[in-house]
Chain A
Amino acid sequence: MPIAGTGVLIGLVGLLLDEFLLYVATSWIIFGILAFSLDLVWGKCGFLSFGQTAFFGLGGYLASVAAINLAPLTGNNLVWIVPVGALTGACVATLVGYFIFFGRISALQGTILTYTFTLILWTGSIGLTVAVGDAIVGGDNGMTGIPALTLGLGKDAQPLGPLGMYMTVLVIAVALYVFVSALLRRPFGLVIAGIRMDELKTELLGYDVRGYRLVIFIIGGAIAGIAGALFASWATYINPSVFSIVEALLVPIYVLVGGRGTLVGGFVGSVAVGGLSFWLGGGVIGGQTTLALGVILILLVLFLPRGLIGTILHAVQRIRRRTRIPGVGPVTIMVPAGSSCETTPPEIVSAAPALETVGLSKSFGGVLAVQDVSIAVPPRGIRSLIGPNGAGKSTFIKVCAGMLRPKSGSILLNGTDITAEEPFARVRAGLAIKMQVAQVYPDFSVWHNLWLAGFARFRNEAAADAIVETVLPLIGLSEKRYLDGAQLSHGERQWLDMGMVLCLAPKVILLDEPTAGMTPDETRRTAGLIQRLAREAAVVVVEHDMEFVRMLDAEVTVLHQGSVFAEGRIEALRRDERVLDIYLGRRQSVKSL
């Protein structure tokens, strides 16, 4: 493993360094662990947390209280501070994380919330003076007398020297890195990456993104807590300045300088920035440390936006990509005679509707976008949903999927009321939605895009592998399986999105303008695919393209200004004067009705 190797290398380098430099470098590694915790939460999972220093500080304080009171008994204080630091960070992160993620607080507001939390800790701890056993939290004067890092056992154990501390902290850092790397393997790591790239899409595949975010946040909190415990032990001192705005801002700086999402970036950034300011403070340029640091940062952003490691990795990737198999070939969609799309055994078709809405209404401010819509869709077959612009079709779909909360009314999926359910729960219950704009993961290959959907459905890697292989030929992307989502053409992305829906093997499928931007050829093929799907599921298709609606040859519901205007077969509707009225003058293709 490359990182273990690098770790050994850094350890060996340590043997060559002067004692004082070892001591200082230890603090860089500790701050690196802190930055690493942020890179996990932010670089990997997409949430910018300003709370890492809060967990760092709280972990440091509580671990030090434990160390001061308990370490004299055992000598070794590592056995106290690492668990206490981790536990403190984890517990506080659980509370804060639950508040943010289960409260569905949006990204920016969530970030500021963590920032505010840290500010509260800072303001409060400066004036807090209290004794906990032998440990004294001395307000701004901090806590002194924290035992230095000691590995030996027994009352007379001596603290480690600079080399010992350096090695211990390095080992812990490498261990944490290895742990996180292992954690982020398939499938967990894929889900996390999916949440980072497109949280909504990942939820719509059926993953409870709140829970995943919380888990990552808790782990990040625990790691930051460990870093704090180590820091307090390194300095044998801790004070409220760990909660200050300046320290909180430094952490994202370290991550960005090193390269966000690279996991090692945090360490690199900490060493780079910490090392630079340490060197400058030795009087190198006449004391203008802050000025130099500021200018360097600006230059870094303008010229090395991916950070130091990120830039290197990106260059390596670009070289690699040029040697990959190009996947450009004719788009062939095989629609085999057998129902190879079927992965669930045929069920007895009950008469009860698969999807039913009862008096569903949704308003935005004063505008009633959906008014008292009651629709019943049988478990097999297609229902086309049409209407002029602003009729409320997309809003209706979104309410059914759970992306919007209805004002009143209820939604039933196979007889179960899902009105109060979160979107991911509805997906797990068999509902799938494909939005108008293709939602694919740009940094995942076609294969991984589909795999994530398949895994969401079956929660089994082998089953996910199988369904991906089944779906790829159906959507005609077999030869492009290794291309990234970002490299596909517009039409190909729509197909990929459709493929992800297929891998969910859903019972009810909501399609919002699936042929938007497609060529007539592609449109015809989509119609064929939908008709095949409709043999095993209920498919609700919102469409503008009347030709496509005709191709589908299904029951049609017309919405107008939020209400159900008419229902019936398309041939009858296109002769209905009222329907023509609501369309007249607004669409050129009204002739094709």
Chain B
Amino acid sequence: MQWDYLAIVALSSLTSASVLIIATLGLAVIFGLMGVINLAHGEFIMFGAYGALIATRAGMPLVVAIVFAALVTGLFGAVVERLVIRYLYGRLLDTLLATWGLSLALYQTAVLIFGSTTPGVGMPIVSVAIGRYSISAYFLFLIAAALVMLAATYLILTRTSYGIMARASIQDRDTAAAVGIETGRINTITFAFGTGLAGLAGGLLVPAFPATPGMGIAFVAKAFLAVVVAGPVTLTGAAVAAGTLGWAASATASYLSTVMGDIIFFVATILLLRAFPNGISDRWRLKL
């Protein structure tokens, strides 16, 4: 085995894991933390992707467009929370139904507004040579982005006063309100934070995964699996789950076919759930 072969396998597996982590983080916040089954998560990613697209076509540089996408998706998430989600806390199954309806509506609205095909933004054609192989520089950027997103989310939720209030509101709304936390407003912000992360994912991924109304579907299934396999320590657990499963699938895909990679992803999920009936982070002592 030559060094460049090993390096490229490692890097491309890392890329797959990073893409999954980026796509999963928003769901980890909304589903893992808030207990809201957000079947529209893929559509929020799509929302961010289109947001970034519009921004770049309006002339913004890509990095600014991505931030714009995150903000505008978060804003939209806040609206959704105010209109629909806030009536459904604690009613897990109703959130299933409501967000499914939302995903249908958002999908079709995107088709109406953008049509089924929209000119994409494309990745910068910059590649890095690894011996005889090459990898797109943008993917290396994505690996870094995934780590930054994780770290930032963790820090925001554990080190800022907003973060503490948010986790309190989620864990025990009545007690939080009793100590003077405006749980209503905080929950709106948290939901917006989660959808903002989804929008950020859309923006980050859109150069590599062109914006189409149905783009979210490819990520949602695996994101859900990762969040549930994660267990109680939501954020770190989801990162580890997404990373492990994504890496396993990618490694399998490298040696067999990509289809087998997907199947291994699912089989590994089942095995992990059997080995860790409450999720892999059941015994962990991390905060988040």
Q: Point out the residues of chain B lying under 8 angstroms from A123, CB to CB.
A: 259, 262-263, 266
Task: List chain B residues, Cβ under 8 A from A365.
Answer: 283, 285
- Contact A290–B267 (Cβ < 8 Å): no
Q: Which residues of B contact A293 (CB under 8 A)?
A: 101, 104
The answer to whether A302 touches B277, judged by C-beta atoms less than 8 angstroms apart, is: no
- Of A112-120, A433-441, A554-562, the segment with at least 4 beta carbons within 8 Å of chain B is A112-120
Contact A290 B107 (CB under 8 A): yes
Contact B97 A294 (CB under 8 A): no
| Interface: B240 (CB within 8 A) | no
Among the listed stretches B12-20, B88-96, B204-212, which one makes contact with chain A, having 4 or more residues with CB under 8 Å of it?
B88-96
Contact between chains at B105 and A295 (CB < 8 Å) = yes
Chain B: interface size category? 35 or more
Are B221 and A106 in contact, CB atoms less than 8 angstroms apart? no
Q: How many angstroms between the C-alpha atoms of A48 and B93 in the bound complex?
A: 10
CA distance A195 to B141 in the complex (A): 50
> Which of A245, A249, A301 touches B98 (beta carbons < 8 Å)?
A301
| Known contacts A295-B105, A302-B87; A120 and B263 CB within 8 A of each other | yes
A residues less than 8 Å from B98 (CB atoms):
297-298, 301-302
The answer to whether B274 touches A106 (Cβ under 8 A) is no
Could you tell me the distance in whole angstroms from the C-beta of A131 to the nearest C-beta in chain B? 21
Are B279 and A109 in contact (CB-based, < 8 A)? yes
Q: Report if A351 contacts B (CB, 8 A).
A: no
Indicate if A2 sits at the interface (CB-CB under 8 A). no
Residues in chain B near residue A257, CB distance under 8 A: 97
Contact B269 A301 (CB under 8 A): no
Flag whether B270 is at the interface (Cβ < 8 A).
Answer: yes
Given contacts A123-B262, A256-B93, contact A117 B270 (CB under 8 A): yes
Contact of A294 among B104, B221, B224, B273 (CB under 8 A): B104
Contacts of B239 in A (CB 8 A): none
Is the beta-carbon distance between B108 and A291 smaller than 8 angstroms? yes
Cβ-defined contact, A297 with B270, below 8 A = no
- Contact between A301 and B101 (Cβ–Cβ < 8 Å)? yes
Whether B160 sits at the interface, judged by CB under 8 Å, is no
Whether B259 contacts A260 by the Cβ 8 Å rule is no
Pair B278/A109 contact, Cβ less than 8 Å: yes
Q: Mark B112-128, 1 if CB is under 8 A from A, else 0.
A: 10000000000000000
Interface check A103, CB cutoff 8 A = yes
- Which residue in chain A gives the minimum CB-CB distance to B91? A305
Q: Is B228 an interface residue (CB 8 A)?
A: yes
Contact, CB under 8 Å: A120 / B266:
yes
CB interface residues, A 93-108, toward B, < 8 Å: 99, 103-106, 108
Q: Which residue of A lies closest to B277 (CB)?
A: A105
Question: Are the C-beta atoms of B263 and A124 separated by less than 8 Å?
Answer: yes
Is B254's beta carbon under 8 Å from chain A? no
| Assembly CA distance A123 to B263 (angstroms) | 7
Q: A112-B224, A291-B108 are in contact. Are A297 and B100 (CB under 8 A)?
A: yes
Q: Which residues of A contact B279 (CB under 8 A)?
A: 109
* Residues on A with beta carbons closer than 8 Å to the beta carbon of B93: 48, 252, 256, 260
Known A-B contacts A253-B97, A295-B105, A297-B97; the reply to A127 vs B228 at CB < 8 A is no
**How far apart are the CA atoms of A223 and B104 in the complex, in Å?**
29
Output the least CB separation between B47 and chain A (Å): 15
Instruction: Report how far A377 CA is from B97 CA in the complex, Å.
Output: 52
Residues 248 to 269 of chain B near chain A (Cβ within 8 Å):
259, 262-263, 266-267, 269
Tell whether, in the assembled complex, residue A294 and residue B108 are in contact, meaning their CB atoms are under 8 Å apart.
yes
Q: Are A119 and B228 in contact (CB under 8 A)?
A: no
Across the interface, name the chain A residue whose C-beta is closest to B283: A365
Interface residues as binary, B58-87 with A (CB distance below 8 Å gives 1, 0 otherwise): 000000000000000000000000001001
Q: Would you call B101 and A296 a contact (CB within 8 A)?
A: yes
Residue of B104, B221, B263 touching A291 (CB-CB under 8 A): B104
Q: Which residues of A contact B273 (CB under 8 A)?
A: 105, 109-110, 112-113, 116
- Set of chain B residues within 8 Å of A181, measured between Cβ atoms: none
**Residue numbers in A under 8 Å from B225 (CB-CB):** 112, 115-116
Find out whether the CB atom of A106 lies under 8 angstroms from the CB atom of B101: no
* A91 lies within 8 A of chain B by Cβ: no
* Residue from A109, A115, A245, A256 within 8 A of B277 (CB atoms): A109
Interface flag for B102 (CB, 8 Å): yes
- How far apart are the CA atoms of A257 and B93 in the complex, in Å? 11
With an 8 A cutoff between CB atoms, is A288 at the interface? Answer: yes
Return the chain B residue nearest A287 by Cβ.
Answer: B108
Q: How far is the CB of B208 from chain A (nearest CB, A)?
A: 22
In the complex, are the beta carbons of B266 and A116 less than 8 A apart? yes
Closest to A305 in B: B94
Q: Tell me how far the C-beta of B252 lies from the nearest C-beta in chain A, rounded to whole angstroms.
A: 13
Q: Is the CB–CB distance between B277 and A103 below 8 Å?
A: yes
Known contacts A109-B228, A298-B101, A301-B88; A120 and B267 CB within 8 A of each other? yes
Chain B residues within 8 Å of A174, by CB: none
Q: Is A300 an interface residue (CB 8 A)?
A: yes
CB-defined contacts of A104 to chain B, threshold 8 Å: 277
Q: Are B97 and A127 within 8 A (Cβ)?
A: no
The CA-CA distance from A103 to B277 in the complex, in Å, is 8
Give A407 Cβ to nearest chain B Cβ, in Å.
Answer: 13
Q: How far does the alpha carbon of A550 sit from the alpha carbon of B102 in the complex, in Å?
A: 61
Verify if B217 is at the interface (C-beta below 8 Å from A): yes
Q: Which of A106, A119, A124, A253 contacts B100 (CB 8 A)?
A: A253
Q: Are A291 and B277 in contact (CB under 8 A)?
A: no
B96 to chain A: which residues have CB within 8 Å?
252, 256
B171 contacts A by Cβ under 8 Å = no
- Chain B residues near A249 (CB-CB < 8 A): 39, 100
On whether the beta carbons of B277 and A297 are closer than 8 Å, the reply is no
B11 smallest CB distance to A (angstroms): 26
In the complex, which residues of chain A have a beta carbon less than 8 angstroms from the beta carbon of B221? 119, 245
- Kindly state whether residue B134 has any CB partner on chain A within 8 Å: no
B175: Cβ under 8 A from any A Cβ:
no
Please name all residues of chain B whose beta carbon is closer than 8 Å to the beta carbon of A252 when the two chains form the complex: 93, 96-97
Name B109's closest neighbour in chain A (CB-CB): A291
CA distance A253 to B100 in the complex (A): 9
Report A375 CB to chain B, min CB distance, Å: 27
Cβ contacts under 8 Å, B109 to chain A: 291
In the complex, B195 has a CB within 8 A of chain A: no
What are some 6 contacts across the A-B interface (CB < 8 A)? A103-B277, A105-B273, A256-B94, A294-B100, A297-B101, A300-B97
Q: Which 9 A-B pairs rank lowest in CB-CB distance, beginning with the nearest?
A: A297-B101, A294-B104, A294-B105, A291-B108, A112-B228, A301-B98, A298-B101, A290-B108, A294-B101
Interface residues of A (CB under 8 A from B): 48, 99, 103-106, 108-113, 115-117, 119-120, 123-124, 127, 245, 249, 252-253, 256-257, 260, 288, 290-291, 293-298, 300-302, 305, 365
On B, residues with C-beta under 8 Å from A are: 39, 84, 87-88, 91, 93-94, 96-98, 100-109, 112, 217, 221, 224-225, 228-229, 259, 262-263, 266-267, 269-270, 273-274, 277-279, 283, 285
Further 15 A-B residue pairs, CB within 8 A, beyond A110-B273, A123-B262: A103-B274, A105-B277, A112-B224, A112-B229, A115-B225, A116-B270, A117-B270, A120-B263, A123-B263, A123-B266, A293-B101, A298-B101, A298-B102, A301-B101, A305-B94
